[in-house]
Structure formats: C-alpha cells, structure tokens
Amino acid sequence: MTRPDLNLLVTLDVLLSEGSVARAARRLNLSPSAMSRALARLREATGDPLLVRAGRGLVPTPRAAQLRDQIGPLVEEAEAVLRPHESLDLKRLARTFTLRNREGFVENFGAALVARVVAEAPGVRLRFAQKLDRDSDPLRQGDIDLETGVVSETTGPELKSQALFHDRFVGVVRPGHPLAKGEITPARFAAGRHIHVSRRGHEAGPIDTALATIGLKREIAVTVGSFSEALALARASDLIASVPERYTGTLRENLITFALPASSPEITISLLWHPRFDADPAHRWLRGCVRDVCLG
C-alpha cells in the first residue's frame, strides 16, 4: 500500500482556509499551476473533488467541510512536534525522575537535592533506586533517568557523563580501636583485620595493590558487597573498613576516620545519562541540580 504524502495535509489546510487556489498558492509561495497539481493529488488521495466551482469562486464539498474541522488541529499538532522546546516552566512541571545510586548518595546528598527540587519545581517527584551493579541497560531502556558512579570499561560507550567530584578512600574504625591512637603506619594498618568491599566478590582491590608495592599485605577477614555493610561491621568490631570519603560522609558518623597510610588511586564520581535525554530541558535542569548539590 502506497503511503500518503503527509505534506499534502498542510496544502489541504491552506486550500480549505483560503477557498482559492490562487490565494493558497501565494500563501505557500507556490505557483498557481503547482497548487492546481497539488489539488489534483488531494482529490485523488481523498476520492473527493474537495473544492468545486460556483460562479467565479470555489466552494467546499461536504467532505471538505468535514475535513476542515479536523485538518487544522492536526497540522498544529504536527508543527508542535517539530518545533523547538519552549522555555521550561518549573512551577508547572509535573514529572517523576528516577536516580540510581550506591548507598551513601541519598544519605549525603539526598536531603539537599530534594529541598532544591521542591523549591524550584514542586510538581517534580524523585525516586531513588539502589545501584546493585554496573549494568547500563536500565539507562538505555529509560527505566533510569540519572545514575552516579565511576565510569569504567563496563559503562555503556554511548552514555553521556560529567564528573561530579573526586573522592579518595579512607580508613574507618570504631572509637576505642587500637588504631584510634598513635601514628597509623603502613605496617600497623596492614597488620589489622580488614573488611573488603566488592559487589562481585573479588578478593583484593586497589588498596591491596598499593600495599603490595611497599611489600605489605593486609588480612581480609570478611568481604561484603556495600559500604554500609562494611561500616556496620567496623562499628561493632575491631575490623577496619576502607570506604570513599565524600560518598560515605554521614554513614561514618561517630566513627574514627583516618587517611590511608598507603597511596591508593583517587576515584571520580560522575553523573551518567542516556543521550535520549541530553537535550530535554527538564532533564538538563535536574542534572544541574545534582551537580550543584554535589559541588555544594
């Protein structure tokens, strides 16, 4: 089946509005002969003469009168689809955004982000989802609007990203722990019993690599999948946790935090989103809110 030429919708709208081939031609910057050919194509497509001569002018057929009521709004909707976004009215914006993050983000930045959003766009709702893995499919499929994390080789290559802040790992122990007093040397640090954080169950990480360069090895007593689990264990035992400093700020309350005595690589926490939302004004606004809060 041959698909109709949708350009004829605009031509039909102008013809029915003007009721004249000559006036319609001038309005569309066409020659009278080109407009006559367009009318012929419309008659063929609709199976109706549409405009018929009455004296010196043209009058619409009943079918044309029926189409006139339909065609105008249809053309307006089509033009609106192709028109650039109008300026964003945050006070009237009603939308729910889903943000996926590891534990620590909501605890550290959630309250400030919610306050900012409520103040600027009271009709916007935020949904925070737990980030259990680095799978990029939720962003690709549109289930997630924004995600925070470290860009790695597993991150979808098409995803957009922007750095939010740099972070470093710090050591954490309970008050009264032996490391809470005195200088924390690499040897003292390595001699303790440690909590290793790995969602994939890896037995070692960057801290172990840093210790190995100076001939030391720490004893990993337990491996957990999240920073909050590591801190909960450190709070209730003599185990040592190593977690990102800024990302776990509030989670470390009432615990002793110290700089690691072995050099470990700095990490960059980034904001990630799918290109489908890159030009969306509301999405751009929310990205700006997250950046401002994290830079706060």
Mind spelling out the 3-state secondary structure of 252-278? HCCCEEEECCCCCCCEEEEEEECHHHC
Q: What is the pLDDT tens value at each position of the chain, 296 positions in all?
A: 567 677 788 888 888 888 888 888 888 888 989 988 988 988 988 888 888 888 777 888 888 888 877 887 777 777 766 766 667 899 999 999 999 998 889 999 999 999 999 999 999 999 999 887 778 888 888 899 999 988 887 788 888 999 999 999 999 999 999 999 999 999 999 999 999 998 877 788 889 999 999 999 999 999 998 899 999 999 999 999 999 999 899 999 999 999 999 888 889 999 999 988 998 999 999 999 999 999 87
CA 35, 14, 56: angle at the middle one, nearest 5? 65
pLDDT at 72: 76
Residue whose tokens read 């996926």: 100
Indicate whether this model's pTM tops 0.75.
Answer: no
| Pairing label, strands 146-149, 267-273 | antiparallel
What dihedral angle (degrees, nearest 10) is formed by the CA atoms of 79, 82, 88, 90?
80
Q: What residues pair up with 53 in beta bridges, in sequence order?
A: 58
| Edge-to-edge strands, sheet with 240-244 | 219-224, 193-197, 240-244, 169-173, 256-259
For the chain, which domains are there? 7-82 (1.10.10.10), 90-167+268-295 (3.40.190.10), 169-265 (3.40.190.10)
Give CA–CA dist 8/49, Å, rounded: 15
